[in-house]
Amino acid sequence: MDATRPSAPPLALCLGGMDPSGGAGILRDVLALGELGCQPMAVSLAETLQNGLACARIEPPGMDPSQRVENLAPHLAGRWGVKLSLCELEEQAFRRLCATLRHLAPPIRIWDPILAPSAGVGLHDGGDLRRMAADLLPMGGWVVSPNRGEAAAFAGMPPEAIRSAPVEALASPWLATGAVAVWLKGGHAAGDQVQDVWVTREGSQPLEAAPRLPGERRGTGCLLSATWLGLRLRGLGEVEAAVESARRLRGRWSLAFSPGGAGRPLFMPLPALQELS
């Protein structure tokens, strides 16, 4: 073997929505994972009519995602992981996808459960997320990364509970359904500080707090969970990867931009940031 030849990068399978603008969804995932030296592969679970202003329509993908994932199976070996996010599959199609993932047994797994894009049409409610969780989480090994709104909906809480509900009440339904950990993102909590919390059956661990940054950015949840997957594939531990993902997001906040000057700002690709530094 040629000792100078670099080793193969870890592989990350991205399952989620196709946002054609690249501000969120699997295109954002692919960018984030490529920046971390991972080889991304992607299968659409939802097609969207979306730009930086809003999402106008969400429809199921044109091809069966389970078949597409099964077709990738020869590549899914060694150190690899999966990220699942926006999903517009009917119940039986989602169950087939879960069966495929159960068979492939990805070593690292994260589910970023999404109720709806941040602007525009909605997609799911708490009942939809609970039905998905009942099929997905019992296979074991899943870290779930909801924001407080998604966690409150999953727990059947009213919208006014988003900011003030106790962490344990927001996280425990996911754990009871089979998640190994809940990375509860703190952006929707009250106050001028943002603090995520890592929750397992053994207890909760507040993560690094930081001042709330001004303005909004597209795809923050996508970028955080995809970065977490990439950092885990590069060898960081679960909690360490969550802390570092948040640090990296904050470090890129001020350099976001709106393509064509339209819509909410999105995160600039890392190579472009390196050229500007």
Q: What integer best gives the mean pLDDT of the chain?
A: 93
What pLDDT does 106 receive?
Answer: 98
CATH, range 11-276: 3.40.1190.20
What pLDDT does 188 receive?
Answer: 73
Q: Distances from the Cα of 120 to the Cαs of 4, 52, 88, 200, 207, in angstroms?
A: 50, 10, 16, 33, 31
Tell me the pLDDT tens digit for each residue of 56-112.
Answer: 999 999 999 999 999 999 999 999 999 999 999 999 999 999 999 999 999 999 999
What pLDDT does 38 receive?
Answer: 96
> Is the confidence at residue 272, as pLDDT, over 70?
no
Beta-strand ranges (E) seen in 167-236 are 181-184, 193-194, 197-200, 203-206, 210-211
Task: Give me the residue spans of the domains in the chain.
Answer: 11-276
Q: Is the CB of residue 26 less than 8 Å from the CB of residue 96? A: no
What pLDDT does 1 receive?
Answer: 45
CA 249 to CA 23: how far, in whole Å? Answer: 14
Quick one: pLDDT band at residue 267, thresholds 50, 70, 90? very high
CA 153 to CA 166: how far, in whole Å? Answer: 14
> Is the confidence at residue 133, as pLDDT, over 50?
yes
